[in-house]
Amino acid sequence: MDLIICILILTGSMFFLIASLGLIRFKDLFSRMHATTKATSFGILLILIGVSLSFDLVSVYIKGALIIVFIYITAPLAAHAIAKSSDELKDNDLK
């Protein structure tokens, strides 16, 4: 069981590393947002599953599930708000 927990947490951490590299490597805002929202959402999912399995308590499972739902609801909304404000700034610069 400990091996599965370690694999989940390390894989989640690798997704965070990939998201960080995407922030550095990609040039435009939309590519950077795609790298951060997708990779970090999946990374936090894997890390929370690993932590929940590590503690093996019902309260930790519930809190982990609530955090995952919160992240999966708010990450796309935040990315949409940033993209919309970027488009509005570009429109104002063209006028």
What confidence category does residue 18 fall into, taking pLDDT thresholds of 50, 70 and 90?
Answer: very high
Mean pLDDT along residues 6-27: 94
pLDDT at 94: 53
Mean pLDDT, rounded, of the chain: 90
HEC per residue, the chain: CHHHHHHHHHHHHHHHHHHHHHHHHCCCHHHHHHHHHHHHHHHHHHHHHHHHHHHCCHHHHHHHHHHHHHHHHHHHHHHHHHHHHHHHHHHHHHC
What confidence category does residue 34 fall into, taking pLDDT thresholds of 50, 70 and 90?
Answer: confident
Q: Over the Cα atoms of the chain, what is R_g?
A: 17
What confidence category does residue 11 fall into, taking pLDDT thresholds of 50, 70 and 90?
Answer: very high
Q: Quick: pLDDT tens for 38-77.
A: 889 999 999 999 999 999 999 999 999 999 999 999 988 8
